[in-house]
Structure 1
Amino acid sequence: MREARAQVEEKLPHSFTYSCGIHGVHKWIEDYCALPTVAKVIKDHEFIVKKFRNKQFLHAELFRAQRSAELKHLFTSTIVEEDTEKEYERFTPLTLVRKGATRMGSAYDMLVRNMELKEALDKVVTHADYGKRCGIAQRRSGMAAEQVAAETVVARDAYATETGEAAEELRLTIVEMQKQYIALKELVRDENMWDLTQEVIDLLAPLIVFLKDLDSHQAMMGEVYRRCERLTKDVEEGDEGDAGHFSKYGAEDYASLLPLDERQRLQEIGIARWNYLHTPLHSFAYCLNPRLHFIDHFADTEVRQDFHTCAMKFCGGDEDLATEMEVDYTEYPYHFRKR
């Protein structure tokens, strides 16, 4: 991408080029998801989703659990009719969400959905028939453990048309299936795993919001610089919102389940991705964003240099004209406030 941009700018010196913001933020998210602890959390939830979707008993019980008297209120919302203004309750069961191989941000959606279904998942794995229906309690009388371990679930003739995950499930040995469903129950009931999942969700949330905004119909060129700076810069006193969101993780005294070395990598990854994505046009659009007219943009040296770079292109390399443009810009907020 950088090489292509350089070639275009060489042939068209007065044109402006910039990287795709959606792609840049998506790669940013991918880098975070590649951290060992985060990757393990995602893998654990993929395992949960796969097992529940492939086992009809688990899939059906998940819906029954949501309809149960103890949990139904979690999946029931109050609807108000516009004409009559009458209120009524609507039950909306949730389904598991798989992580897509090519869908941007889908790992986050999977984690959020599993958190929403946490109580229902726990109710399923503690069901009285869980062990029996998942093969954990099945033992053939008089059969040695070695024979059980060697026996496989052979269904090649009857299920010759099965492919993918379903076929893989059919070919698992009895012992392997037992181990997997025991591991599934332990995983769903592991509170530490859920606490870590919530931390990963909180970690990725600002980037997912940013990604969705970039993929929307609103103009975002004037927002990119401010949003990226607020996510990557160090925490400053008086900042609000997500300012320094990732830098806080690097502090040794920050209460977190993520290892310190991985937390310290967060801001490094963010800065590297922002440096890769950034072009002078982001700073120029940031200066011209009418919603941010109250900010002293030129207090940031980088923004002022980028503004000058763009002004030189607009003015065909005329230094005097570019300087005059900068002077006009610095006077604009004063006239705006006088109205």
Structure 2
Amino acid sequence: MPPREEFPTKGLEGAPSNDIGWHFGTPVPNARGSIVCKLCGKVVKGGITRFKEHIAHKTGNVAPCPNVIGFIRESMMNVLKESNTKKIDKKRRKDEFLSQLTEDEDEHEGFIDEVSAIRQATRESIQSQHEWHRREEFRRSTGGWDNIYKEGRSSHGSAREHNRERTSKSIPGESEFTLRGAIPELVRSKSSKQPKVNDSFLKSFRRKIGEAVSKFIIYERLPFQLASSPWLYNLIQVATEIGQGVKLPTPYEVSDVYLESEYQRVHDWVNVLKTYWKELGATLMCDGWTNSLNQMHIINFLVYCSKGTIFWKSVDVSSVRSRDAEFYYRLLDSVVEEIGENYIVQIVTDNEAAMKAAGKKLMLKRQHLYWTSCAAHCLDLCLEDIGKKPSVAKVLDEEKKVTCFIYNHIWTVDLMKKYTPGKQILRPALTRFATHFIQLEEITRQKQGLREMFNSKEFKESKWGKQKSGPAYEAKKIVLGKGFWKKANDLIKVYEPLVRVLRLVESDEKPTMGFIYDAVDRAKRAIQQNCRYFIEYEKIIDNRWNFMHSDLHSAGYFLNPQFQFGVEHSENVLIETLEGTRSVIERLEPSMDTQLLLFRDKHETFGTPQAQKAWKQMNPAEWWMIYGTCVPELQKLAIKVLSQTTSASNCERNWSTFSYIHTKARNRLKYKKLEKLVFTYYNMRLKMRHQQRMSTDDINASFNPISLDYIFEDVDPLSEWLHEKENPLLDGENAGVLPVDTSDDEMDVDQSQQQILSHSSSRSTPSQSGDGPDGGGLSPIDEDDGYSGDRGEIRS
């Protein structure tokens, strides 16, 4: 717990999450959501937010802590208020985003006024029908308007009788009323004049919508995640505003008329982003993918700009027999020609030897661009190289034995959750070999719980606890021993700094070119401080870094004011980065040595108090736009260099789209239409991801520089990376066939791990049921991908 007069600013190491509330409370074992207050000893139920309300003396949900001092109480209340403000802002931005969907539709049509008039007339018609049904129902229940006066009954009495009648019989035409009169009440603005809908009506309407949507999703074998699609919301909103009588589009209209319309709309958005390429420069990213089922090979091209990433094209090269350096050279050259060489600063590809040779050859022809290898791919291969060391491989193999045993049986998974509490040790990551580190770290975090599990009475009395050999015995021996835990902790100290850099380059929210050089250097220093065998690991890291390193990385470091003015350079770093910067200048913008000296020595606009203060608070490229005016040519180059990414991760995350669109059924489409479908689908998703990301905090943060201090000092650096709700852009969106239950004793965890470890990162997790200490269970199912087919039998 922090000192009484200090309030924590970072999470507590070893806590269940990165929330600062854990400084003041401890989770209750085997009681999910229960926390013991370190100040007063009270057990608070309801989770960490409710517990923070206990500390902050927020009334309404929980009793206040009697022992908390005023400073801590007020600080915690500010934390709660800030969190609530962010939630409100996020909801507001989401509502704005959803409302823009329809506005965007209307924006590109030529009959906005006509549509508005139709909608207004429809609303008035629906409202009049709504009122008519209510009056008609009331009239029937009373036997006519005259009976109210003839029989001397009050309107209150008739209403009571009317309410009793409602429970015994339905209203004639109720289904029509629901569709035409009531659903618009759910989507109209609160500010518009409308009758108040009874809660029971709302529940009934919501159920009808839910059943209709669910039937569609289930029948068409679509992923359940589709229910949260903003376009489904938009569809229902438009349908309810228009009302009945309008026919649905035909398959022809969708594939020809509306596909063409959406293609043009997306093309307009792409053209807007292209206007930034001349000033900011662009990165051409490409990566290849092979469908293991039919050996189809597709190459995907995207264009990155700090204002937004767009999909350019995909090329089916399945029929090409020899995909050698010459083939890749001609392909890359043709795409550069399509886009325009003057826009492209660099081409980023994977590390295939033929691709590297093609990139080097292209640099000879195209004198004003660079080829660089994907930083994320290089770092992932670096983790793989470390994992091949015999001593490391032994630790990873032991970790796998523990994971496989536990996840091969639903009973042991449930028992583990009881002691962890509720925490998983099998976690996916964005790249294959980062998953090794993630799982190793999760196991060490749950060390105490796993030990208690294997020592528990339940486990000892189970069939697995009585075994003297086999997977259960091996897993128990590893967990209850001492050797594994020490080696695992040592290995985490090697893996973690590299995974932190991987987290940096995997993100496409901000350009990373100005930070990759120092990030790798920091990772090496962190490993050196914590590892006895640093020289061995340094060789592995340097081998991959030398392959990946480009003059652009050096120039990004040298031109970044954070490092030029904010840190002390070693002589080697200064020489290497200065030489790299000069090489970039000679290639992109010759004759700028004098301007480079003005920047290095902080002369003219670079030396003003405003400029020296601003580099700590601004994105490097933005800083150059404002304070680099005294060196216009260098300013132009610096903005382009510092606006680039270092990874082609956007390509690698989205291959299942092409697995879907390029199926035999889809190949019946004409190729031009297929190209439009891929282009439209991909860019719609990229545009939406960009729009959804832009909360007020995100907009403000976009002007802030990347903080390597935060990345390397964060107590739980991967929590946001792992808990990110955003699915891979196009993965898991299309279903196969219903699953076949093989009713094995054990779940095939090796296969589920293969799914998780795949480079395209399907984010699949085992879904299990029906297993017990005596066996019996279901195969793992990818929850997001809808339905999967048969699985192979792979045993550990």
* TM exceeding 0.5: yes
Q: Counterpart in 2 of 1:200? A: 491
Quote the Cα distance in structure 1 between the aligned partners of 2:459 and 2:569.
61
Matched, 1:180 2:534: no
Matched, 1:112 2:441: yes
Structure 1 pair 226–137 and aligned structure 2 pair: CA distance change class (3 A) = closer
Matched, 1:30 2:384: yes
Quote the Cα distance in structure 1 between the aligned partners of 2:437 and 2:576.
33
Structure 1 pair 228–63 and aligned structure 2 pair: CA distance change class (3 A) = closer
CA contact (8 A) 1:311 1:325 kept: no
Q: How does 1:16-55 map to 2 (within 5 A)?
A: 16-55=370-409
Quote the Cα distance in structure 2 between the aligned partners of 1:113 and 1:296.
36
* Structure ID, larger Rg: 2
Deviations 1:290-325 (A, max 9, x none): 32231576952111211111111123xx5xx24334
Quote the Cα distance in structure 2 between the aligned partners of 1:25 and 1:191.
30
Q: Counterpart in 1 of 2:784? A: none
Quote the Cα distance in structure 2 between the aligned partners of 1:102 and 1:214.
12
Q: Judging by fraction of residues, say which structure has more helix.
A: 1
| Equivalent of residue 312 in structure 1, options 586, 604, 608 | 586
Question: Structure 1 counterpart of 2:583, which letter?
Answer: T
Structure 1 gap segments, 5+ residues each: 67-74, 76-92, 139-174, 233-243, 255-259
Q: How many residues align?
A: 251
Quote the Cα distance in structure 2 between the aligned partners of 1:334 and 1:30.
48
Q: Counterpart in 2 of 1:323? A: 593
Q: CA deviation at 1:26?
A: 1.2
Q: Counterpart in 1 of 2:510? A: 218
Quote the Cα distance in structure 2 between the aligned partners of 1:298 and 1:183.
49
Quote the Cα distance in structure 1 between the aligned partners of 2:456 and 2:558.
59
Q: How does 1:49-198 map to 2 (within 5 A)?
A: 49-66=403-420, 75=421, 93-97=422-426, 103-135=432-464, 137=466, 178-198=469-489
Structure 1 pair 25–185 and aligned structure 2 pair: CA distance change class (3 A) = same
Identity of aligned residues (%): 20
Quote the Cα distance in structure 1 between the aligned partners of 2:568 and 2:477.
55
Quote the Cα distance in structure 2 between the aligned partners of 1:95 and 1:230.
30
Quote the Cα distance in structure 1 between the aligned partners of 2:430 and 2:608.
54
Quote the Cα distance in structure 1 between the aligned partners of 2:359 and 2:568.
30
Q: Counterpart in 1 of 2:548? A: 277
Question: Structure 2 counterpart of 1:195, which letter?
Answer: K
Deviates more, 1:55-64 or 1:17-26: 55-64
Q: CA deviation at 1:287?
A: 1.5
Structure 2 gap segments, 5+ residues each: 1-354, 610-796
Question: RCO higher in 1 or 2 (8 Å CA, sep ≥ 6)?
Answer: 1
Question: Structure 1 counterpart of 2:475, which letter?
Answer: L
Compute the RMSD of aligned alpha carbons. 2.7
Q: TM-score, normalised by structure 2?
A: 0.30
Structure 1 pair 135–95 and aligned structure 2 pair: CA distance change class (3 A) = closer
Question: Structure 2 counterpart of 1:246, which letter?
Answer: I
CA contact (8 A) 1:49 1:97 kept: yes
Quote the Cα distance in structure 2 between the aligned partners of 1:298 and 1:128.
59
Q: CA deviation at 1:333?
A: 5.6
Q: TM-score, normalised by structure 1?
A: 0.66
Quote the Cα distance in structure 2 between the aligned partners of 1:326 and 1:65.
60
Quote the Cα distance in structure 2 between the aligned partners of 1:324 and 1:125.
69
CA contact (8 A) 1:58 1:124 kept: no
Quote the Cα distance in structure 2 between the aligned partners of 1:280 and 1:197.
36
Matched, 1:288 2:559: yes
Q: CA deviation at 1:185?
A: 1.3
| Equivalent of residue 366 in structure 2, options 1, 4, 12 | 12
Q: Secondary structure at the match of 2:370?
A: coil
Question: Structure 1 counterpart of 2:371, which letter?
Answer: T
Deviates more, 1:297-306 or 1:107-116: 297-306
Matched, 1:2 2:293: no
Quote the Cα distance in structure 2 between the aligned partners of 1:215 and 1:99.
15
Quote the Cα distance in structure 1 between the aligned partners of 2:587 and 2:419.
63
Quote the Cα distance in structure 2 between the aligned partners of 1:44 and 1:304.
46
Quote the Cα distance in structure 2 between the aligned partners of 1:29 and 1:120.
28
CA contact (8 A) 2:558 2:578 kept: no
